[in-house]
Structure formats: C-alpha cells, structure tokens
Amino acid sequence: MTSATTPVSGRAAAPAMRLLCLPYSGASAMIYARWKRLVPSWLEVVPVELPGRGRRMDERPRTGLTALADELADELAPETRGPYALFGHSLGGLLAFELAHALRGRGLGEPRVLFASAAAAPSRREDGRWAEPLDDDGLIAEMRRLSGTAEEVFGNRDLLEMALPVLRADFLLCGRYAYRRHPPLGCPIRVFGGTQDDIAADRLRAWEVETRGEFTLEMFDGDHFFLRAHERPLLDRLAEWLGRPAGRSGGIAATA
C-alpha cells in the first residue's frame, strides 16, 4: 500500500513544525504543492494523498470517513513524532477532525492547531442528500454548483471519466458520515469561511464546542473556494497562528 505522504527517511532534519494538509472532494494532494514554496522555512507543508488519486490512483477510493481517518492515522504516525498541525478544506476539514481524534486515540498526541476551511462543524453537517451514490449527471451538477472544477474538464470526457469515480466516493464520505461526540480536543481550532459560500456562519461557529482551547472564525471574501484567491493571506494566517502561543479567547474577523 502506498503511503499517504513522502517517506520520512531521506529528510535532512525534522522541521520545527509540520502542516499535514488534507484535500477537498475530488482533489489530490497536488493542490497543496505550491504551499511548500510559500511558507516560512520552519514550516513544512505535507500534502496528504488519499486513496484513489495521484500516486495512489490504483487504490480503491474509500467511502467510510471514520475508517479512512483510522487508516490515515496509522500511515501518518511517523509525521506526528514532532510538532504538527492539521489543515483541511471542505471534506478535508471534516477528515482532519476525525484524524485528530484517531491520532489522539493512538496516543500520538494532538495537533498544535486544527485548521478547518470551508467546512461546517461536524455536528452541523447537511450532507444527507449524498448518502446514496450520485449518477454522472448528478455529480456534474454538484461540480458546477461548487465552482471548484475548471470548465475545460466538463468538455473532456477522458478527464471526467477519471474524476467522477473519485468524486462519487468523496460525496459518499460526506453523505454517510455519522457524527459521534468526542471529548473536546485540547488544541485550538481555527476556522476559515467564505463570505459568499452557502455554509452559514452559525454552522462554522459550531466548531467551538469541539475544543477546550481557543476558537477563532475568520471570514474571507469569496465563495467555497476562497483559498484560491486568498492563498497568500491564508498562508500568512496559518504561519501566524502556528508561530504564537495558544490563548483562550476567540473571535471573528473578516478579511477582504
């Protein structure tokens, strides 16, 4: 079985902090490749590849989110030997939450920070319409609605045939997810949202109950994929949060 990340052996030295990044529905780890060049030298971005895409394309895409989190926790254990944080966008945010608990359950320690981007709180998901597999037309309609797919993909049947099975499985990951209340994490939870996204602010604020530490919600101007237009400010915020001691007070901020 292929590892979710590049093997630890061969790295010159452990970084001061690792940021394990989980992709959104239909995406591969490559969406975070640019980040490696854009963050401070003390921070190592570690894109996490999920089964069924990228270099794990030969594997069957998973459809059970908590089982996938358990699988990733075993694979990523070497990456958590030093300070680490988790970042996930959309589906990746929900997966990061379950992964944090799976890692803690293995005695591997919690992340320094859990970052959830464009992801409703686990207790406030509204994904039941995806509990059964969507046909191709339904998947394409959802891809267009979320505005996360380049328009040329829709006109290329070969690309669609590659993308649809992974996307179908990813929608099932969300649609079949059953929230279980865990003891709150001790690490801060930092949530980011888009002002034009259809995820209501109260569903983002509901992440606060999942931590005993600090909670913050920061809104960026944009839709569900605001991280593309605001890549540099978002990375600056990640580095800022990871470079400061955790406090106890939270708040809501807006970023143009």
User: Which tens digit of pLDDT belongs to each residue from 205-244?
Assistant: 999 999 999 999 999 999 999 999 999 999 999 999 998 6
pLDDT for res 160: 79
d(CA 224, CA 221): 10
The DSSP letter of residue 47 is E
pLDDT for res 246: 42
- The C-alpha angle 150, 93, 108, rounded to 5 degrees, equals 135
For residues 94-121, give the mean pLDDT: 97
Query: Is it the case that residue 118 has pLDDT exceeding 90?
Result: yes
Query: Is it the case that residue 252 has pLDDT exceeding 50?
Result: no
Q: Cα 254 to chain center, whole Å?
A: 21
Give the phi and the psi of residue 242 in degrees, each rounded to 5.
Answer: -75, -20
pLDDT for res 14: 63
Query: Is it the case that residue 9 has pLDDT exceeding 50?
Result: no
Query: Is it the case that residue 52 has pLDDT exceeding 90?
Result: yes
First to last CA, the chain: 43
Q: What share of the chain is helix, strand, coil (3-state, %, to 5)?
A: 40, 15, 40
d(CA 77, CA 103): 8
CB-based contact 25:15 (threshold 8 Å): no
CB-based contact 238:112 (threshold 8 Å): no
User: Which tens digit of pLDDT belongs to each residue from 13-46?
Assistant: 567 899 999 999 989 999 999 999 999 999 999 9
User: Which tens digit of pLDDT belongs to each residue from 167-207?
Assistant: 899 999 999 999 999 999 999 999 999 999 999 999 999 99
Predicted TM-score of the model (pTM): 0.87
Calculate the average pLDDT of the chain: 88
130 three-class SS: helix
The residues, any chain, with a CB within 8 Å of residue 173's CB and separated by 6 or more, are 25, 62, 63, 64, 65, 68, 91, 95
- Of 27 and 160, which is predicted with more confidence? 27
Q: Catalogue the active-site residues.
A: 90
Going by pLDDT thresholds of 50, 70 and 90, the confidence category of residue 165 is confident
pLDDT for res 161: 79
pLDDT for res 150: 67
Within 10 angstroms of residue 198's Cβ, the number of other Cβ atoms is: 11
